Amino acid sequence: MSDSGSIISDTFSIVEEKIDVEAMISAAQRPDSGAINTFVGTTRVDESDGASVEYLEYEAYRPMADGKLSEIGAEIREKWDVRHVAITHRLGKVAPGEASVAIVVASPRRGPAFEASRYAIERIKEIVPIWKREVWSDGYVWVGSQVGTRGE
């Protein structure tokens, strides 16, 4: 259900600096859309065995990861009437509470904006070749593989 009558402004980015969520929201504001849904994934400090997460570190297989983000955007445009989709994923070291990923979807109505935003984060976790390493006070763990130095 793409809006073929207008220029598509979708953006898919992988960055190594802080994500500018406000700029992403500004870029999504359009007169044809009554809803902008924003999802921001932030780094959480987990605790276990008297240790805690100090920071997260992300790496990606590029340009495959860039291509997969675009694919997710295309899937969203197939499924919902959305007028702007932007996804930014950060790489490198991300401090606690900072954004590692941001998704901004504009749609004429709120339903598709919410649904598409949820869909985007779930698909990122399924198909985009990006990996997260949790660096704890007592070692590190590759999330998803459970490979690392904690508990050694």
Contact set with other proteins (CB under 8 A): 41, 58-61, 63-65, 67, 89, 100-101, 121, 124-133, 142-145, 147-148
Q: Which is nearer to other proteins, 30 or 121 (CB)?
A: 121
Strand order, beta sheet including 11-15: 11-15, 84-90, 99-107, 35-42
Indicate the helix (H) or strand (E) that contains 57: strand 51-60
Amino acid at 128: V
CB 101 to other proteins: min, Å: 5
Tokens of 115: 């649904």
**Tokens 């295309």 sit on residue:** 74
CA atoms of 149 and 9, how far apart (whole Å): 43
Q: 36 or 128: whose CB is closer to other proteins?
A: 128
Is there a contact between 87 and 15 (Cβ–Cβ < 8 Å)?
A: no
Q: Judged by CB, which is closer to other proteins: 114, or 131?
A: 131
For the bound state, the minimum distance from the C-beta of residue 54 to other proteins, rounded and expressed in Å, comes to 17
Minimum distance from residue 81 beta carbon to other proteins (Å): 25
Question: Based on CB atoms, which residue is closest to other proteins, 25 or 40?
Answer: 40
Nearest distance from C-beta of residue 82 to other proteins, angstroms? 20
Hey, what are 64's tokens? 């495959």
